[in-house]
Homo-oligomer: A and B are copies of this chain.
């Protein structure tokens, strides 16, 4: 299979992004990565790093323009016709790649994928699902910011699509779906939560009720559904707090380990850092579009990009979009 990668996307492009592709190819024997972006800059990275990878597995698709992080997605997509996001998404539409991975301007990726690939019939809004929690014990939170004008049926679809992701890509058995709320009683919550709850209860989905913010990390459910404003705050708070705790840990405990030359302790500390490090996740999956699209953090380094490509490959092997299309059909919610 072939994964298209926006080589120009994110704070560490192109160097870390290109090296992320190299990391992925070492693990994914059946993959090629189509590097999309400025050919000369991409080649400069490969020439300098000389990775131990067959260069034929790293084809390049030249794109002259780059959409920057702060740009207005709508304006940028319109004015910069030859940009690496549009070109990478286009390669997937033309059948030249099986999935797209990008760490650049999230709005441009969501907007571009929705425009070029279109939504799956019956789905009204695309949403981004991200696993949150510590390694081996995480819940998929959806939506983390693609859609801040959510209606109950958008949330119903998010739950269904993320449950397919959970089951077929992550291998969870009969994933449970919960609705993020501010208390467990039925009387709690705003209008959106109450109306969405009614829709879930009337559906054939494996809905288990409410989930409070802290219960995301207890794996009360494999899938936690919320509207995009709240979900984005959850994502950013989680990342920010984990980073802050890592920094505090480093300041108080970190430095002492090497000076003590306590190798066993250093190993445990490394394990702790990795278990609670969001770079392990790779990225969020854009659900609801006709295609596989993984959106990585703007600050991604090579390890995060490598993991994002591996995640995209899992989606391809699982035929997740086909299963989601069947899932929408089975829900039969009038859109």
Using CB atoms and an 8 Å cutoff, list the residues of chain A in contact with chain B: 70, 72, 133-134, 137, 145, 148-149, 180, 182, 185, 187, 189-190, 212-218, 226, 228-230, 232-245, 248-249, 252-253, 256-257, 260, 262, 264-265, 268-269, 271-272, 275-276
Contact = CB atoms under 8 A, between A and B. Distances in A.
A142 to B, nearest CB: 15
Nearest to A233: B213
Given A190-B148, A262-B265, A238 B241 contact: yes
Contact of A212 (B134, B230, B236): B236
A242 B241 contact: yes
A235 B213 contact: yes
Contacts of A240: 212-218
A95 to B, nearest CB: 34
A107 to B, nearest CB: 9
What is the count of identical protomers in the complex? 2
A269 B253 contact: yes
A253 B272 contact: yes
Nearest to A73: B187
A271 B253 CA distance: 9
A218 B241 CA distance: 9
A243 B217 contact: yes
Contacts of A243: 214, 217
A249 B276 CA distance: 9
Contacts of A189: 148, 229
A213 B190 contact: no
Nearest to A218: B240
A217 B240 CA distance: 6
Given A237-B234, A241-B238, A265-B253, A229 B134 contact: no
Contacts of A213: 232-237, 239-240
B256 A260 contact: no
Nearest to A271: B252
Contacts of A145: 182
Contacts of A237: 213-214, 216, 234, 237-238, 241
A326 to B, nearest CB: 32
A189 B233 CA distance: 11
A252 B276 CA distance: 11
5 contacts: A180-B233, A229-B230, A249-B249, A253-B271, A262-B265
B265 A256 contact: yes
Given A213-B232, A238-B241, A244-B133, A264 B256 contact: yes
A269 B248 CA distance: 11
A232 to B, nearest CB: 4
Contacts of A233: 180, 182, 213, 226, 230, 233-234
A264 B214 CA distance: 32
A236 to B, nearest CB: 3
Contact of A148 (B148, B182, B238, B260): B182
A212 to B, nearest CB: 5
Pairs A-B, 9 closest by C-beta atoms = A214-B240, A213-B236, A213-B237, A214-B236, A217-B244, A182-B232, A213-B233, A217-B240, A253-B268
A129 to B, nearest CB: 16
